């Protein structure tokens, strides 16, 4: 479903979609925090190098995930419709 299809959902369907994406958002936030923690630990321990780029790459992938963009779109629609 793209953004146009999301706007065509009923209020009940939109709330169900938001519930499905909530667990994804929590997991995604945990992984991003963990990977950024690894980067910060690496900087503190002065091991700035190639291995630090790997967690940054994964953070980039998690943030730009299509499912994350869908989650943001659902949140915006919920705010527009005053459902949340």
Answering whether pTM is above 0.75, one says no
Question: How confident is the model over 20-40, as pLDDT tens digits?
Answer: 888 888 888 999 999 889 888
What single string gives the DSSP state of each residue in 33-82?
Answer: HHHHHHHHHHHHTT--SHHHHHHHHHHHHHHT-HHHHHHHHHHHHHHHTT
The rounded distance, in Å, linking the Cα atoms of 15 and 83 is: 8
Q: For the chain, give every domain's residue range.
A: 28-84
Q: If pLDDT is split at 50, 70 and 90, which confidence band does 2 have?
A: low
- Round to whole Å and give the CA distance between 46 and 69: 34
Give 9's DSSP letter: S
Using one digit for the tens of pLDDT, what is the confidence trace for 36-82?
898 888 888 877 777 778 888 888 888 888 888 888 888 888 888 88
């Amino acid at each position: 479903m793209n953004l146009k299809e999301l706007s065509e959902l009923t209020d009940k369907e939109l709330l169900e979609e938001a519930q499905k994406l909530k667990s994804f958002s929590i997991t995604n936030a945990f992984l991003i925090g963990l990977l950024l923690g690894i980067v910060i630990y690496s900087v503190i321990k002065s091991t700035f190098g190639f291995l630090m780029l790997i967690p940054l790459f994964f953070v980039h992938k998690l943030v730009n995930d299509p499912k994350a963009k869908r989650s943001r779109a659902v949140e915006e629609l919920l705010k527009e419709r005053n459902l949340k």
